[in-house]
Amino acid sequence: MRSRPGWALAVHVLLLMAALVMVVPLVWIVLTAFKERNEVFSQIPQWLPAHPTFKNFLGVLDAMPFWRYYWNTIVVAFGILAIQVVTITLAAYAFARMQFWGRDVLFVLLLVQLMIAPQSTVIQNYITVTRLGLLDTKLAIMAPYLASAFGTFLLRQTFKGIPKELEEAAALDGCGTLRFLLHVAIPLALPGYLAFGLVSLTFHWNEFFWPLVVTETTGSRTLTLGLGIFAQTAEGSADWTMLMAMTLMVIAVPLGAFLLFQRRFINSFMQSGLGG
C-alpha cells in the first residue's frame, strides 16, 4: 500500500498499543522480581523497586535444587532433539527418495501423529512408560517425542527437491546412501534442520503436563515443574517477589535466545505452521 503519513502513524499507534499489552506484563514481573518482599503489598502499585535487590534470585537457589532442574531440562530438550534428528533424517530419506511397498499408507500412518492431540493418550502413555520401567526418569519425559511426523514431513520436502542426477553421480563415485546423506542431503537441508530444532527445543523446554505426570522426584523434574511446584508451596504462594524471580530465571534463556535470533525463530515457527 502506498502509504500516506497519516496512515503510517495510525498503524504505528495501533501496533504500539498491542505491543504494550504484550510487553507490560513482562516488564511488571521483571520489576517485581527486584523488589523487597513486602513492597508489593501496596494498594497503589509502585512500578520501580524502592531498593533494588538480588535477594529473591538467591532465595530461589536456596529454596530448591534449581540447577538440578536446569540440567534436567537441558538433557531432556537436547536429548529429544538429538534422537529426533536421527529418526527424522532416516525416515524422511526413505519417504522422499525410495520406492517401497506400502509407502503411501505408512506415510499417512505417520501423519496421524500430527492429527491427534497427545494429551488424549496421556493415560496409556503413562502405563506404557511405567511398564517399561521408565517412570520418574528423564527418558520417560523424552519417550513419546522421539519420532516426529512434523520433522519428517519438513525434511522430506527438502530431500525430494534434490535432483536425482546428483545422487546418481554420487553413487558412481562410490558414494553410498550414508555418505550421500552426510555430504549432500543433510548440508542442503540445514535450514530445515535449524527450523525444526528451534521449534522442538522451545516446545520441550516449555512443556509442563507430560513431565508432571511421569516424574515424582527432583532427579527427573524439569524447570517448568520446579516453577509449578514452588508456586504451590506455602513459601512460593505467599512471596510474589521470589515467585516472579523464579519465573524470570525460567524464561531468561529462551527469551534471550529469541531476542538475539528473533528472525530465525519467527521464520522457524512460520514453517511449523505451513508444515501442519
Q: Which is nearer to other proteins, 2 or 51 (CB)?
A: 2
Compute the least distance from the CB of residue 137 to other proteins, in Å.
Answer: 15
Compute the least distance from the CB of residue 51 to other proteins, in Å.
Answer: 18
Q: Which is nearer to other proteins, 26 or 61 (CB)?
A: 26
Q: Which is nearer to other proteins, 53 or 268 (CB)?
A: 268
Q: Which is nearer to other proteins, 29 or 188 (CB)?
A: 29
Compute the least distance from the CB of residue 28 to other proteins, in Å.
Answer: 6
Compute the least distance from the CB of residue 148 to other proteins, in Å.
Answer: 8
Q: Which is nearer to other proteins, 219 or 276 (CB)?
A: 276
Compute the least distance from the CB of residue 68 to other proteins, in Å.
Answer: 17
Q: Which is nearer to other proteins, 109 or 166 (CB)?
A: 109
Contact at 8 Å (CB) between 235 and 161? Answer: no
Please give the Cα distance from 142 to 72 (Å, whole number). Answer: 11
Compute the least distance from the CB of residue 173 to other proteins, in Å.
Answer: 20
* Longest CA pairwise span in the chain (Å): 78
